[in-house]
């Protein structure tokens, strides 16, 4: 079968291989059959291997939904009564976690930092010291809105020093940037199948500490569909998801895991790094600036600043590229106009070379000066 190959430079869903796409075309099956449960058992075990988790101490729990369901589940399920959550927040995805706390009415501290700055660890420690009722610390590994990499190992060590559970939104790093759950001081991490795994949307998973999940059995219940213990308990006792799983998506995820292990953790990370470097090279050649200091970037998302050119029109540039099979993505920073190019998915350096040919044409067609100009440079048209 000949399926058109699109290069997705958005932060997920990512470009998939044809073998993953085709893995969804299977005979119809009722997911309550033993055959299906045994497949999910293998899938759950494979997910642990990605983050080098010991199967005695850690477990993985699957949910039907996009990645946000994981944040929702962890926060609403893992907070004991009369305790508080600390969100270490320097971007859009940690802000989403804050919104989840607000929606459930969970006591929380939103410890906010600038979106282009790393969290101040001394301030995090001071907050933990002054608030002994913090039972859960949450942050985002790679803030996908900007591409900044947070120091999770250090944050996890602080959380543990003050007796709190550490949950990390690793949706845009897991199965890309190597993670070691124990060494990185993570109690719970999470992702969805369409990002690092390069599979299909609709399946999300949490990998975390079994003893903490078991202790949460007696915590206040704040959701029915999105309760971690309930789903875990159902998997442990029946091997099945509590409610209907995304059947075909699970077949695709199993194929994607096969391909993940065949490529290998290091080789895959090296490939994403090649793509990331190629994105930077292309943007540098065109004169674009980015938001986050290079040494702080997670190596997966580049946030470029709109040039100060009267002819710049993101939608027109996007549409030109889209019609030619390349998808670029708007930014997620309220104070600066940016767009994003991401290194996720089944793509390599050559795809980025091809992309920049098209991107350059898009700039030329729209009469945008190359190299692009910014108002703090002399002679930029339209600047006062
Ligand atoms: C993609 C992503 C999510 C999930 O977003 P959905 O829109 O629910 O798929 C959560 N956290 C991070 C860091 C992400 O990159």
CB atoms within 10 A of CB 95: 20
CB atoms within 10 A of CB 164: 24
Average pLDDT over residues 61-90: 98
Which ligand 1 atom sits closest to the C-alpha of 170? Answer: 13
Task: Note the pLDDT tens digit of each residue in 91-116.
Answer: 999 999 999 999 999 999 999 999 99
Q: What is the pLDDT of residue 335?
A: 81
Residues with CB under 6 A from ligand 1: 11-12, 66-68, 93, 140, 144, 169, 171-172, 192
CB neighbour class for 34 (10 Å; exposed up to 12, middle 13-18, buried from 19): exposed
Query: Ligand 1 test: best mutation among 65, 171, 199, most atoms within 8 Å of CB?
Result: 171
pTM of the model: 0.97
Task: Note the pLDDT tens digit of each residue in 205-250.
Answer: 999 999 999 999 999 999 999 999 999 999 999 999 999 999 999 9
Q: Tokens standing for 248?
A: 């075909």
> What residues have CB less than 8 Å from 191, skipping those under 6 apart?
67, 70, 170, 171, 174, 175, 197, 204, 205
CA of 105 to the centre of ligand 1 (A): 22
CA 268 to chain centre: 16
The residue nearest atom 6 of ligand 1, judged by CA position, is 67
From the list 6, 5, 11, 7, the residue with the least C-alpha distance to 339 is 11
CATH 1.10.3720.10 fits 265-382, yes or no: no
**Residue 185 clears pLDDT 80, i.e. is over it:** yes
CB 89 within 8 A of CB 97: yes
Task: Note the pLDDT tens digit of each residue in 134-184.
Answer: 999 999 999 999 999 999 999 999 999 999 999 999 999 999 999 999 999
CATH of span 26-262: 3.40.640.10
Q: What is the pLDDT of residue 334?
A: 78
Label residue 318 by pLDDT band (50, 70, 90): very high
b/e code 166-198 from CB counts within 10 Å (16+ = b): bbbbbbbbbbbbebebeebbbbbbbbbbbbbbb
Question: Where do the domains of the chain lie?
Answer: 26-262, 265-382
d(CA 146, CA 331): 8
- 329-330 sheet: strands from edge to edge: 301-305, 338-342, 329-330
Label residue 336 by pLDDT band (50, 70, 90): confident
């Amino acid at each position: 079968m000949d399926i058109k190959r699109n290069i997705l430079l958005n932060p997920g869903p990512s470009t998939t291989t044809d073998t993953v796409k085709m893995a969804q075309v299977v005979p119809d099956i009722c997911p309550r059959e033993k055959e299906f449960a045994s497949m999910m058992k293998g899938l759950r075990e494979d997910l642990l291997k990605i983050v080098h988790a010991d199967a005695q101490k850690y477990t993985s729990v699957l949910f039907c939904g996009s990645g946000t369901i994981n944040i929702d589940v962890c926060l609403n399920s893992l907070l004991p009564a009369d305790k508080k959550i600390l969100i270490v927040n320097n971007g859009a995805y940690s802000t989403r976690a804050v919104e989840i706390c607000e929606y459930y009415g969970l006591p929380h501290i939103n410890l906010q930092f600038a979106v282009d700055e790393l969290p101040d660890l001394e301030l995090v420690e001071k907050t933990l010291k002054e608030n002994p009722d913090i039972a859960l610390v949450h942050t985002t590994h790679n803030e996908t809105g900007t591409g900044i990499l947070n120091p999770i190992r250090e944050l996890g060590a602080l959380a543990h020093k003050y007796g709190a559970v550490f949950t990390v939104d690793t949706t845009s790093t897991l199965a890309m940037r190597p993670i070691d759950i124990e060494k990185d001081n993570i109690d719970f991490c999470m992702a969805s199948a369409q990002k690092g795994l390069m599979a299909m949307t609709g399946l999300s998973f949490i990998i975390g500490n079994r003893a903490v999940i078991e202790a949460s059995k007696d915590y206040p219940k704040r959701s029915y569909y999105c309760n971690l213990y309930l789903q875990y308990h159902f998997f442990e006792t029946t091997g099945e998801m509590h409610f209907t799983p995304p059947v075909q998506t699970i077949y695709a995820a199993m194929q994607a895991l096969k391909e993940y292990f065949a490529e290998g953790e290091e080789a895959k990370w090296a490939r994403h790094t090649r793509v990331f470097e190629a994105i930077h090279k292309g943007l540098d050649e065109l004169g674009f600036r980015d938001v986050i200091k290079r040494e702080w970037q997670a190596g997966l998302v580049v946030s470029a600043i709109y040039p100060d050119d009267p002819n710049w029109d993101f939608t027109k540039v996007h549409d030109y590229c889209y019609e030619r099979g390349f998808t670029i993505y708007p930014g997620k920073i309220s104070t600066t106009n940016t767009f994003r190019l991401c290194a996720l998915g089944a793509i390599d350096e050559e795809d980025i070379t091809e992309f920049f040919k098209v991107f350059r044409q898009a700039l030329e067609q729209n009469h945008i000066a190359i190299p692009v100009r910014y108002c703090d440079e002399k002679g930029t048209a339209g600047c006062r």
